[in-house]
Amino acid sequence: MRKLVVVGHGMVAHRLVEAVRAEDKDGQWQVVVLAEEARPAYDRVALTSYVDTWDPASLTLEGADYAGDPLVELRLGDTVASVDRERKIVVTEAGHEQPYDTLVLATGSRPFVPPVPGHDLPGCFVYRTIEDLDAIREAAQRPGRGRRSAVVIGGGLLGLEAAKALRDMGLSPHVVEMAPRLMPLQVDEGGGGLLRRLITDLDVTVHTGTSTDAIEPDGERYIARLGNGTELDVDLVVFSAGIRPRDDLARSSGLEVGARGGILVDDTCRTADPAVYAIGECAAVDGKVYGIVAPGYAMAEIVAARLTGGEGTFPEPDMSTKLKLMGVDVASFGDAHAATEGALEVAFNDAVAGTYKKLVVSDDSKTLLGGVLVGDASEFNTLRAMVGRPLPAEPGAILAPAGGGAAVGVDALPDAAQICSCNAVSKGAITHAITEEGCDSVAKIKGCTRAGTACGSCVPLLGKLLTACGVEQSKALCEHFTQSRAELFQILQATRITTFSEMIDRYGTGTGCAICKPAIASILATLGNGHILAGEQATLQDTNDKFLANLQRNGTYSVVPRIPGGEVTPEKLMVIAQVAMDFGLYTKITGGQRIDLFGATVDQLPLIWRRLVDAGFESGHAYGKSLRTVKSCVGSTWCRYGVQDSVGLAIELELRYRGLRSPHKLKSAVSGCARECAEARSKDFGVIATDKGWNLYVGGNGGATPRHADLLVSEVDTETLIRTIDRFLMFYVRTADRLQRTAPWVEEMEGGLDHLRAVIVDDKLGICEDLDAAMAKHVGDYADEWRGVLEDPEKLAKFSSFVNAPGTPDPTISFRTERDQKVPVLLGIPEVKQ
């Protein structure tokens, strides 16, 4: 058996090991992976998402520990110090000597830190690893006065990712970029101009066309001196100014490196030493280093093929990029900067909608060479796959905002067009999997071809290919109902069925499941079927709705009283404070202008809510698939920039739509001027004031897949605004799929925003009167769920930790103290020393 030693364990190294194990049918290779980091390979591309959870496991690549594979040995934290090519041995820093028959260097890259005076001060960081983010987080959480700020040196892809992470940590970020625009490698001047405006609107201050001359300590803070004379007063500095190949091992072992770094390899990724390969960001193929993951994956596949008796050479890599920065779509593909001789550029810039689209075409305007998309990258996958191929329509027709999408449908792509660039999967391979191998779902296509298993950007095209191949994709809610959620809504509305049991007897099969029961319970609640804990309804709810509270990780619950618009009297604040003190609850101000009280046990919930209800509070529905909050700035009441009463409108909207059960949670906001302090465009429906009325934006989402909301109507009066929101919400409640947020609902709607506007503004389908009546009924029938519990002894009886011993506390729940508040004791988390 031959020994394959892999130095490094990043994404590309992991892909190599996976590919070798998949192709090595006879088990000829024993693989030893020597990793510098103390954790298995993780998704460094998604590093910024770590800020959402602070859970390293959420980034770990599937199967990266190789558990149960006797032919792979993973040694974490075992850094290689040198390579003896004559003896074919690598030596680790611990002194361990590891022989090899073939060596693959996958050492990646290191962040480039410009030699700026002060770059090594304690408050300066790089943005590359989980440990880097942990260090930045620790610095960001240090006590300080007022809003803390930071500066990111570098306005490229990673720089803007770092700015987003800092903003999510509660800091006000500055971005400094030497080039005249942000992301200079990916976007052109037009796209860069729009990108700057969109990023600035998101509370990030941008400084382009200038350098950073020095970082100087200033008490406990720092002064960043820029080349244009600007001085930035910041709490920390993050360098994200590019990367450099880690080619030290190659240099010290006598392997040749490129003029600008990188281990020189040929088109099979082999060095001058036939026993040594290099892949990923440390490798220079024909002298060129690639800093994105897709070419690295291609290198890994080539080396795996060579080691297992196959062929393959490094192709011209796809350097296309698509990302969402703070909710802003940015994409570039092919010859984005029109470097090809005779190339022509066709651009469409819609400043009002916040979109920029450019196509680069051949001199006869018939062949697509590349393009840039900012603000809306929905056509990226299709356009990228067409690079180097004839256009199906005039470039202007493709870019036109009305009707252009049909010109670049999936049918226009040839079989050779690459759908998944991460795994080099063509349209032909996918259609073969569908038509010849029986892949009748996106999940099966992923398993068969690996398309869509890396960055996931090509997944929407997989669904379109299924449809194009004649595969009818099931809309069934679950195995018990063949109908979609929207169809079930129509059935319940038309038949006036009021129980799940009757519904499944007449229109379903079996006894139901955790999918259909809460979904139908939600529809019944929307249609005004009484209290959700009354009778059979109580048995249908999921955990949160069952106890009208959010279940937390240690088995306790959180309590969130409604505070419309964030406005609350001192007397009510005192009630919340006293309840928190009496029940020993962890207290936190939420991002939606509310107060969250954590740590309540089931039996305490009625006691807590009785005091809150008596004080005038009601359920904030933090547990339900319903309206959460309508956030607001202080508007014209206090702010010198405000042009409308945003607080008053926010309160009116929250009280109007409270308790509306929907396919997923709903969030809203009202900003009193165009400065957008309430962040209305990241909400399911958001309102921004103008000096002539209100602008309504819909379909936004600030969650796992951020998306800016789209402008539906502009400069309308309050009555028209509310009527339009009524219809938007009711149309969404009736037609969206289970657990579908408004963002994908709008995106997937045939005809998109134009169709939505035609239905709820122009009454194209003639249903607006019905939608208006449905919302009026909801508003008229609303009753606070927790008050309903407190007034009903039968419902109160459900709130007990132990049915056979009411009032007995749960002995499995315990707490520790952190920052003077109690937090759950969880396995593996030690007591924090105060």
The whole-number pLDDT of residue 703 equals 66
Q: What residue has token string 């959010």?
A: 550
Three-class secondary structure of residue 107 per DSSP: coil
The whole-number pLDDT of residue 349 equals 85
Tell me which amino acid residue 87 is: R
DSSP string, 61-94: PTTTT-TT-TTEEEETT--EEEEETTTTEEEETT
pTM: predicted TM-score of the whole model, two decimal places = 0.56
Which residues carry a binding-site annotation for [4Fe-4S] cluster?
633, 639, 673, 677
Q: CB neighbours of 40 closer than 8 A, spacing ≥ 6?
A: 9, 14, 60, 61, 64, 65, 74, 76
Q: What end-to-end distance do the CA atoms of the chain give, in Å?
A: 55
H helix and E strand count, the chain: 27, 39
Task: Give the DSSP H/E element, type plus range, for residue 429.
Answer: helix 427-435
Q: Which DSSP symbol is given to 690?
A: E
Beta bridge mates, 344: 361
**Angle of helix 130-140 versus helix 157-168 axis, rounded to 10:** 40
Beta bridge mates, 205: 174
- Buried-exposed string 685-704: b where 16+ CB fall within 10 A, e elsewhere: bbbbbeeebbbbbbbbbbee
C-alpha span between 381 and 321 (Å, rounded): 10
60-66: list long-range contacts, CB under 8 Å, 24+ apart: 61/11, 61/14, 63/18, 64/9, 64/14, 64/40, 65/40, 66/17, 66/33
200: number of Cβ within 10 Å: 12
C-alpha span between 189 and 184 (Å, rounded): 8
C-alpha span between 681 and 688 (Å, rounded): 8
Give me the domains of the chain, ranges plus CATH numbers. 2-109+245-307 (3.50.50.60), 124-241 (3.50.50.60), 320-408 (3.30.390.30), 410-473 (1.10.10.1100), 485-541 (no CATH)
760, 728 Cβ separation under 8 angstroms? yes
C-alpha span between 450 and 435 (Å, rounded): 17
Which residues carry a binding-site annotation for siroheme?
677
The whole-number pLDDT of residue 834 equals 37
Max Cα–Cα distance, the chain, nearest Å: 84
The token pair at 672 is 């009193």
Task: Give the DSSP H/E element, type plus range, for residue 33.
Answer: strand 29-34
Q: What angle do CA 253, 254, 258 make, to 5 degrees?
A: 115
The strand ranges marked E within 114-266 are 124-126, 149-153, 172-177, 205-208, 212-218, 221-226, 231-234, 236-239, 243-245, 263-265
Mean confidence (pLDDT) of the chain: 87
The whole-number pLDDT of residue 804 equals 46
The strand ranges marked E within 595-682 are 595-600, 627-632, 666-671
DSSP string, 239-274: E-S-EEE--HHHHHTT--B-TTSSEEE-TTSB-SST
Check residue 8 and give left, alpha or beta (phi > 0: left; psi -120 to 50: alpha).
left
Which residues carry a binding-site annotation?
633, 639, 673, 677
C-alpha span between 644 and 146 (Å, rounded): 27
Task: Give the DSSP H/E element, type plus range, for residue 728.
Answer: helix 718-735
The whole-number pLDDT of residue 224 equals 95
3 state SS for 349-372: EECCCCEEEEEEECCCCCEEEEEE
Q: Give pLDDT < 50 ranges for the chain.
A: 401-407, 802-805, 827-834
The token pair at 828 is 């593996």
C-alpha span between 228 and 210 (Å, rounded): 6
The whole-number pLDDT of residue 808 equals 53
Check residue 612 and give left, alpha or beta (phi > 0: left; psi -120 to 50: alpha).
alpha
CA quadruple 182, 187, 188, 194: dihedral sign = negative
C-alpha span between 621 and 162 (Å, rounded): 33
